[in-house]
Structure 1
Amino acid sequence: MSFRSSNLKPLWQQQNTDLAKLVVNSRESIGVRGRGLSVVSKVDETSQAKQLQQLHQLLIQPITDLLPKEANARVVFIPQTSLFLVPFAALQDSSGKYLIEQHTILTAPSIQVLDLTRQQKQRVETRNLASRQNPNVLVVGNPNMPNVSLKRGESPQKLSTLPGAERGALAIATLLNTKALIGNSANESAVVQQMSKAKMIHLATHGLLDDFQRSGVPGAIALAPSGKDDGLLTATEILNLKLNAELVVLSACDTGQGILTGDGVIGLSRSLITAGVPSVIVTLWAIPDNSSALLMSEFYRNLQQNPDKAQALRRAMLTTMKQYPDQPSAWAAYTLIGEAE
């Protein structure tokens, strides 16, 4: 066990800022602004490099000598509060190399949750081995969206459709030899029923950050409403599910966010892990449709060749990076929480 520290005094003494503001500035520098918003069209590449290199200097440089030399060796980050919003994959060293080019990256909300995901992995493996079944793969894309009041007191409005998410879900379903649930077929009742049976779950829809049930656990996944439900699968409802999936991918905007605490993020990802899932892939912002479709397709192709989810995600990021050079907003949003295998 080693300990290293960074001096944060220059941030407020010389730059009149703090670490939390630096994280926000770094996200804005790559074109990511606000909650649930897409990237902006104009990005200041000079500012982008400066912000990402400064975060690298503070967070990575002090431990560089402790990090593995082999790129496929895993590095698990357990961030604190606002550091959960850091796009670790996009941090740049002084030579301009991104961290994902040098290391295979995972995150965890806390040491306790990392221990829980290890237990969940063993439970899922034991159950699947004992049943000798080949559970289903569930792919959901662009449900018939529910009506939602995004601000208290406002009338409910139908969430916008996601044609790009639908195209991506259809392509992934073909790759995984299953049928995607699209439109009305992706209603909450049907999705919840299939989630309990699925080995792998891919949800390409809106992710909402609000605490709709005032339960203290924010977040909801937008699905098609039916006569039995409102179309919002909330984080609280997920907590009450018993899932056997090895992996859940939340390919929606801001699904990695929630209430920032000293013990990590309380939200959708934590709810899924508590419900039994050892590996969850979430996003730190709304990734553009075209790059998202490319990255996710590459991820599942890689996963078919190698069960290491962290390595599969890293290779997918590197492939997408080649198509979108100098645009980390196009590939750095996805992060793997929990177990790699």
Structure 2
Amino acid sequence: MREDGRRVVLLEYVSAVGQLAVFGVRADWDQPKAALLDVNHEELSLFVSANLDSYRSVRDLAEMPELLHQYDDIVRPLAEWSEPGDVVYLVPHGALHRMPLHALRVGERYLIERNPVVYAPSVSVLRHSRTGRNRAAPEQPETMVVFGDSRQNLPDAAAEATMLGDQFGAEVRLGAAVTRENLQQALTQVDLVHIAGHAAFDQRDPLQSGLELHGSDVLTAGEIFGMPRMRASLVTLSGCETGINLHQSGDELIGLTRAFLYARTSSLLVSLWSVADDSTAFFMRRFYDHLLSRPGLAKADALRTAVLETMREPGWDSLYHWAPFTLIGDWL
């Protein structure tokens, strides 16, 4: 794959018996490459459950980064299959969907330091998001709506939304204005939609997972699947574990991520764990500043730059602060 003058490298993972298989694809290769990694998927699943299932365990893990870096081999093939600056697509499998693979190291550098990184739930969903780019949306985002604190119990979410509105001239809707009608209207008429608040995940019925609206209302994943084609080229879900989905057969994911991509949102920015308010506000401000002030800058590059800036801030060198957000879908 090569777009926008950039080389794109795709890695897809599949668990094998006692090992992890990874397949690489690049436009200038005659055929895909493959490697077997000495990673036991059952042990990996236990590691994820123990260290990445709550913000407390993530903070503990961040204090002992060597535990995460025992899995650096997962991205080791990129040392041969890519060059620094190439766009890297990662298609995880199983427990890998919950891991911050961009926080693993290639050589002496974090992957996100070396390359812009984008995730996809599956190759079929990636194809859907790339071929479904909204041609009606402008190349440079022009309109933005920010929603926050729908239940009026998250003052930091309200502060984040207000800050973004003030800095970028976006329309801000808080509390009682975070309604089904207003959100659906924004998703189908606006270029960028930012939602600061809680998402509810239903383990028994993932299609009932959704975004908490004002009162007791929830916009569910099932309803998002059925929405008209969205205009929004990027939807940011700035909250607690908004990227969580349920694995189905074939390792397809059902949840908010797949619902938005199915409704033709080109890209999603979601979190892997409950985030810190201060570093998240800083990260979001830097991400949108790059995206909106540098015409033609790809979303993946804006994300990478904002991550590196967050990482370099005093007190935020822990992956808990700089690694929670991932870009899913189209990188441009």
TM range (shorter): 0.7 to 0.9
Corresponding residue to 2:60 among 24, 38, 43:
43
Q: Any gaps of 5 or more consecutive residues in structure 2?
A: 1-31
Indicate how the Cα distance of structure 1 residues 211 and 23 shifts in structure 2: closer, same or farther if over 3 A, else same. Answer: closer
Letter of the 1:197 counterpart: Q
Letter of the 2:67 counterpart: Q
Residue 240 of structure 1 is matched in structure 2 by: 226
Pair 1:258 & 2:242 matched? no
Q: Any gaps of 5 or more consecutive residues in structure 1?
A: 12-16, 146-160
Q: CA deviation at 1:134?
A: 7.9
Distance 2:39 2:306 in 1: 34
Alignment map for 1:3-14 (pairs within 5 Å): 3-8=34-39
Corresponding residue to 2:182 among 180, 183, 190:
190
Letter of the 2:34 counterpart: F
Residue 112 of structure 1 is matched in structure 2 by: 124
Distance 1:316 1:33 in 2: 25
After TM superposition, which residue ranges in structure 1, 4 or more long, deviate above 4 angstroms?
132-135
Corresponding residue to 2:300 among 302, 310, 315:
310
Q: CA deviation at 1:240?
A: 1.2
Indicate how the Cα distance of structure 1 residues 41 and 81 shifts in structure 2: closer, same or farther if over 3 A, else same. Answer: closer
- Counting aligned pairs with the same residue, the percent is 28
Whichever structure has more strand as a proportion of its residues is 2
Pair 1:330 & 2:303 matched? no
Distance 1:44 1:285 in 2: 12
Residue 97 of structure 2 is matched in structure 1 by: 84
Distance 1:288 1:247 in 2: 22
Indicate how the Cα distance of structure 1 residues 276 and 3 shifts in structure 2: closer, same or farther if over 3 A, else same. Answer: same
Corresponding residue to 1:138 among 136, 145, 148:
145
Residue 331 of structure 2 is matched in structure 1 by: 340
Q: CA deviation at 1:181?
A: 0.4
SS of match in other structure, 1:217: helix
Distance 2:231 2:318 in 1: 36
Distance 1:340 1:259 in 2: 23
1:284-304 C-alpha deviation (Å, 9 max, x unpaired):
011100000000000000102
Letter of the 1:99 counterpart: L
Corresponding residue to 1:60 among 75, 90, 96:
75
Provide TM-score, normalisation by structure 2.
0.82
Letter of the 2:283 counterpart: L
Moved more, 82-91 or 187-196: 187-196
Q: CA deviation at 1:20?
A: 1.1
Corresponding residue to 2:115 among 84, 103, 107:
103
SS of match in other structure, 2:132: helix
Provide TM-score, normalisation by structure 1.
0.80
SS of match in other structure, 1:269: helix
Indicate how the Cα distance of structure 1 residues 2 and 295 shifts in structure 2: closer, same or farther if over 3 A, else same. Answer: same
- 8 Å Cα contact 2:78/2:106 also seen in 1: no
Indicate how the Cα distance of structure 1 residues 84 and 218 shifts in structure 2: closer, same or farther if over 3 A, else same. Answer: farther
